[in-house]
Amino acid sequence: MTKFAEEFQQVSEEKAFDMDHRRIINFNIGRYTTAVNRGLSKLANLDASKKKGHVIKWKVMENLDKYLLEFESNFQKKGGKVIWANDKEEAQEEILQIIRRANAKTVIKSKSMTTEEIHINEFLEANQIDSLESDLGEFIVQLLGQKPYHIVTPAMHLSKEDIAKLFHERFDTPADATPEMLTAKARVLLREKYTTADVGITGANFLLADVGSVAVTENEGNARLSTTFPRIQITIAGMEKVIPSLNDLDLFWPMLSTHGTGQNLTVYNTILGGPRQEGETDGPEEMYVILLDNGRTNLLAQKEQRQGLYCIRCGACLNACPIYKNIGGHTYETTYSGPIGSIITPHLSGMEEFKHLSFASSLCGKCSEVCPVKIDIHKMLLLNRRDSVSSGLSPKVEVIGWKGWKMAMLKRRWVDLLGGKVKNMMLNTFFKKSWGKHRELPEVAPKSFSKQWKEGKRNLDEL
């Protein structure tokens, strides 16, 4: 068992029985679920929209090289620069070179899971560059020294009392401050940073191939501020974020917002088309887009599983997942948690280290049901399990155990060979620990159904 798998089991058990954690996460997800259901009810033909989104993303993944080159060409025509990064180390070094060439010392960031993927805050800090998160949720978890808990809502695991206590300790706000007071304080703290930062860094919800632009959707306006004041702007985007046309936003923006937060449309929707042009008053002097691979081509090479790259990062599968709602986001020890993280992380970060995530599922299928682009998530989980076994990554004890089980299941006499007492003894000897100390093992009947059936039939014949 790998280090990641051992830690996952240990933390999962702790979180599953942490009643305060469960209360907070279920309360917050419950509010999202109510809002999302209300938002989805307003869509005229939800299933048709999902199918259309699936087809568009399929078209992109089958022709990814074409669309990426089209985006690059059109973006460069507007004065922007595109950098291709094979992995997180290359992306980090490219960002550091841009910052050093400009003699920059401060960075303001908007919310971006891709920057979390390459650990940019820690990297910049190690190189004596201040990097501040401007999204309120990201700002809160940065203050705590934590990673985002959820794709859409980074601080979902915290109650308003937890945040009030944090701000009281760090900024001397009242211990019983309301959410409005805390938001106002954060606005005061961050406002100066926007105007003084040398570099702004954002992610991208979508890359528009036909117009060579970056589409960003948000609710707080921090991405707009992060791209307006700093003289250099860097966008870090996964290769899969490209879509064919500006017109496709007519579908993807509402589907993303409705499935993520229940809104018809998020408050701020911005299209960034390169650095400031002649006659324009706002925008950066230089704009870069870093196209990140970091294992995505490994997933793209899997014909059956590449639809994991269709994800638009709405977080709906996390909110629906019974496993996520019990063990929480930090337990996964990955950038992308929940069902979508469980299917893509083994390909992005290594099957051997992260195959356990694909087994940590009830396969209820709720994740596939709620996905706005119809990713067959629970099937992908099964395919990952298959691949981990066929790659020889299963422990020898498990391989031998399944061979024995298969042999017994194929022949009735092998099943009936051992009585109920022996079977119960074997269960308590070999499965007590893996079943879990908080559960009771099922008790095997003294006689199998087959034996009972034969005895009952014999007794009827004798009558």
- Residue 241: closest CA among 219, 209, 266, 267: 209
Q: What per-residue confidence (pLDDT) applies to 7? A: 93
Q: Residue 312 domain-assigned?
A: no
Rg, the chain, Cα only: 26
Please tell me whether residues 279 and 400 are part of one structural domain.
no
Q: What is the per-residue pLDDT across 20-52, written as a single tens digit (0 to 9) for each? A: 999 999 999 999 999 999 999 999 899 999 999
- Structural domain that includes position 456: 396-462
Please tell me whether residues 273 and 420 are part of one structural domain.
no
Please, what's the b/e burial string for 381-417 (b: 16 or more CB within 10 A of its CB; e: otherwise)?
A: bebbbebbeeeeebeeeeeeeeeeeeeeeeeeeeeee
Q: What per-residue confidence (pLDDT) applies to 454? A: 83
Q: What per-residue confidence (pLDDT) applies to 27? A: 94
Q: Residue 169 domain-assigned?
A: yes
Please tell me whether residues 241 and 104 are part of one structural domain.
yes
Q: Residue 72 domain-assigned?
A: yes
Q: Residue 349 domain-assigned?
A: no
Rounded to whole angstroms, the Cα distance separating 80 from 86 reads 20
Please tell me whether residues 182 and 70 are part of one structural domain.
yes
Q: What is the per-residue pLDDT across 382-405, written as a single tens digit (0 to 9) for each? A: 999 999 999 999 888 888 888 888
Q: How confident is the model at residue 422 (pLDDT cuts 50, 70, 90)?
A: confident
Q: What is the per-residue pLDDT across 334-343, written as a single tens digit (0 to 9) for each? A: 999 999 999 9
Q: What is the per-residue pLDDT across 202-217, written as a single tens digit (0 to 9) for each? A: 999 999 999 999 999 9
Rounded to whole angstroms, the Cα distance separating 11 from 117 reads 21
Please tell me whether residues 224 and 75 are part of one structural domain.
yes
- Residue 109: closest CA among 85, 141, 75: 141
- Residue 232: closest CA among 290, 189, 283, 295: 283
**How confident is the model over 135-156, as a mean pLDDT?**
95
| DSSP conformation letters of 427-454 | HHHHTHHHH-TTSPPPPPPSS-HHHHHH
Please tell me whether residues 406 and 276 are part of one structural domain.
no
Q: How confident is the model at residue 288 (pLDDT cuts 50, 70, 90)?
A: very high
**How confident is the model over 88-108, as a mean pLDDT?**
96
Please tell me whether residues 277 and 408 are part of one structural domain.
no
- Residue 212: closest CA among 164, 188, 255, 244: 244
The answer to whether 238 and 20 have CB atoms below 8 angstroms apart is: no
Give long-range contacts, CB 8 A cutoff, 24+ apart: 354-361: 354/4, 355/5, 355/384, 355/385, 355/388, 355/393, 356/1, 356/2, 356/4, 356/5, 356/8, 356/9, 357/8, 357/332, 358/384, 358/385, 358/388, 359/385, 360/8, 360/12, 360/323, 361/321, 361/323
Please tell me whether residues 164 and 289 are part of one structural domain.
yes
Q: How confident is the model at residue 309 (pLDDT cuts 50, 70, 90)?
A: very high
CATH code assigned at 194: 3.40.50.10420
Q: How confident is the model at residue 331 (pLDDT cuts 50, 70, 90)?
A: very high
Which of 260, 294, 328 is at the close of a domain?
A: 294
Please tell me whether residues 414 and 290 are part of one structural domain.
no
Q: Residue 383 domain-assigned?
A: no
**How confident is the model over 96-100, as a mean pLDDT?**
97
Q: What per-residue confidence (pLDDT) applies to 301? A: 96
Q: Residue 251 domain-assigned?
A: yes
Which of 254, 279, 294 is at the close of a domain?
A: 294
232's enclosing H/E stretch is strand 232-238
Find tokens 């009558």 and name the residue. Answer: 463
Looking at the structure of the chain, the number of domains it has is 2
The answer to whether 307 and 375 have CB atoms below 8 angstroms apart is: yes
Q: Residue 305 domain-assigned?
A: no
Q: What per-residue confidence (pLDDT) applies to 147? A: 95
Which of 274, 294, 314 is at the close of a domain?
A: 294
Rounded to whole angstroms, the Cα distance separating 345 from 356 reads 10
Q: What per-residue confidence (pLDDT) applies to 463? A: 62
Q: What is the per-residue pLDDT across 99-119, written as a single tens digit (0 to 9) for each? A: 999 999 999 999 999 999 999
Q: Residue 172 domain-assigned?
A: yes
Rounded to whole angstroms, the Cα distance separating 153 from 158 reads 10
200/394: higher pLDDT: 200
Residue 461 has pLDDT above 80, yes or no: no
Please tell me whether residues 414 and 287 are part of one structural domain.
no
Q: What is the mean pLDDT of the chain?
A: 93
Rounded to whole angstroms, the Cα distance separating 307 from 243 reads 14
- Residue 335: closest CA among 353, 325, 349, 324: 349
